[in-house]
Amino acid sequence: MSRRAPKLEVKELCASYGGRIILKDVSFHVDRGEIVAVIGPTGSGKSTLLRAVNRMHELSAGATVSGRVLLDGADVYSPDTDPTELRRRVGIVLERPIALPGLSIQRDVLAGYALTRTLPRAPEEVAETVLRRVGLWEEVKDRLSTPSVGLDDGQIQRLAIARALALRPSVLLLDEPSQSLDPSGTAHVEELLNELRSQTTVMLVTANLQQAARVADSVVFLEQGHVVEHARAAKIFTNPEDPRTEDFITGRFRTTA
């Protein structure tokens, strides 16, 4: 894999929550415009890894982080980095996305602007563009001023992706983005990921190994907070080096609890 100017470098990252260690010396890199899928069993630290990359993890009481996360070569944990500004550049779609109460569909899509009172020049156009990209425009175009909490789970999932995209992040972190979607919605998300390729660097946590195989350029396999293997997707899914990776992707994985 190319080692030239990675967009994102994670170096010896450790994270804990309430005294429980969740990530242990995690290191890998993501090239610019690459889609990296993070796979692993439940509780392996996939979501924590995403939240540590854009400093959401530290917001939880009792959470600690050490190690380095370099974005374009600059450590996101350096004192000079403003975490609120970082979270706009490194967008995240959380595992169970929600509609923001009290906001219309249009304002919810633009919440990143509305809540900081920095609306873009043509807000309606921005909202339409991102809603089209996630395949939601046709479903909501006639009720943009109605409350977003009225949308169903699949629509809220896509709305959350649109909300993150509206801020034009250079890195997008997606935590199980197809969890509440039917096959058509999943196809929309995967089309979107292919569209984003080369423009935006994407880290995708997914339990859907077929999805990882379809869209990811590279794959990080996490187990109990350790990186077991990081390689090109084709290699991971056809000829993994570590037997634990092979066990997991072939369904022979067993927890060691």
Partner 1 sequence: MSSETKLGRRRVSLGWLPHVVGVGALFVVLAPALSLVATLLQRVRLDSAVLRALGEAVVGSLILVSLGLSLAVPLGIAAGVHVATHPRTRLAKLASVAIDILSGVPSIVVGVVAYALVVLPTGRFSVPAGAVALALVAFPEVARSTTDLVASVPTPVVDTALSLGVSSWRVTTFLLLRARGAALVASLAAVACRSLGEVAPLLFTTASGAAFDGSLGAPMSSLAVEAFLSVHTPDGGARAATLSLFLVAATMTIALLVRRRAPRSA
- Applying CB under 8 A, the residues found at the interface with partner 1 are 54, 56, 59, 61, 84-88, 91-92, 94, 96-103, 111-112, 115-116, 147, 149, 160, 163-164, 167
Q: In this structure, are strands 20-30 and 8-17 parallel, antiparallel, or unpaired?
A: antiparallel
CB of 46 to partner 1, least distance (A): 16
CB 45 within 8 A of CB 15: yes
Residue closer to partner 1 (CB basis): 157 or 218? 157
CB of 6 to partner 1, least distance (A): 23
Residue closer to partner 1 (CB basis): 94 or 207? 94
Residue closer to partner 1 (CB basis): 83 or 243? 83
CB of 84 to partner 1, least distance (A): 5
CA 150 to chain CA mean position, Å: 25
State how far the Cα of 194 lies from the Cα of 198, in Å rounded to an integer: 9
CB of 238 to partner 1, least distance (A): 35
Cα-based distances in Å from 14 to 52, 92, 161:
9, 20, 27
Residue closer to partner 1 (CB basis): 34 or 175? 175
Cα dihedral 66, 67, 68, 69 sign: negative
Residue closer to partner 1 (CB basis): 33 or 147? 147
CB 195 within 8 A of CB 201: no
Angle at 45 between CA 214 and CA 50, to 5 degrees: 65
CB of 112 to partner 1, least distance (A): 4
